[in-house]
Amino acid sequence: MVRFLAFPDHARTVPADAQADHRQGERDRAGRGLELLAALDTRFCSLENTRLGQPEVPLGVIPGGVGTAPWPRLIGYARAAELILSGADFDVATAERYGMVNRALPAAELDPFVDALAQRIAGFPQHSVALAKQVVRHEGTLADALAL
């Protein structure tokens, strides 16, 4: 199962750029959903129940949408090429080592960990979350982010 986190009510009305996007995965993410996973701020998966992959190339097509774009930036060219060209499934321990997911946790620890992180971030001032996301997203300084 993959689900969005339940943010507290006061966080639901926060502009999207002031919220951290989290997703946790407990099932296979091949093709459908892996692109979404790459677009999120943080990614957490169950060790027991998750495999990740881009199966398009062996099927004679290339990943559509944003299937190829973020991976070289997130995990480096060589690992992105392995992910996309091989069409192979990756276990989540490998995905964690490659940087595809932030953490791979035992299934019983996944929900409590991610819920606590979401609650913590949702409790921070909206403007500081938004600015911090801009700095991180654009890999620059605070001055760079403020100039955007």
For 85-114, the pLDDT digits (tens) are 999 999 999 999 999 999 999 999 999 999
Tell whether 1 is covered by a domain: no
Judgement on whether residues 87 and 24 belong to the same structural domain of the protein: yes
User: Is residue 6 scored above 70 in pLDDT?
Assistant: no
Tell whether 118 is covered by a domain: no
Q: pLDDT, tens digit, for every residue of 15-55?
A: 444 445 544 554 444 555 688 888 888 999 999 988 888 88
What's the mean pLDDT when you consider all of the chain?
78
Whether 48 is a known active-site residue: answer no
Judgement on whether residues 50 and 83 belong to the same structural domain of the protein: yes
pLDDT of residue 13: 37
Whether 35 is a known active-site residue: answer yes
Judgement on whether residues 27 and 79 belong to the same structural domain of the protein: yes
pLDDT of residue 9: 36
Question: Quick one: tokens of 118?
Answer: 């979401």
Judgement on whether residues 37 and 96 belong to the same structural domain of the protein: yes
Judgement on whether residues 37 and 75 belong to the same structural domain of the protein: yes
Active-site choice (56, 82, 96, 109) = 56
pLDDT of residue 66: 64
- Which domain does 55 fall in, by range? 20-110
Judgement on whether residues 25 and 95 belong to the same structural domain of the protein: yes
CA 54 – CA 68 distance, rounded (Å): 9
The number of beta carbons lying within 10 Å of the beta carbon of residue 130 is: 17
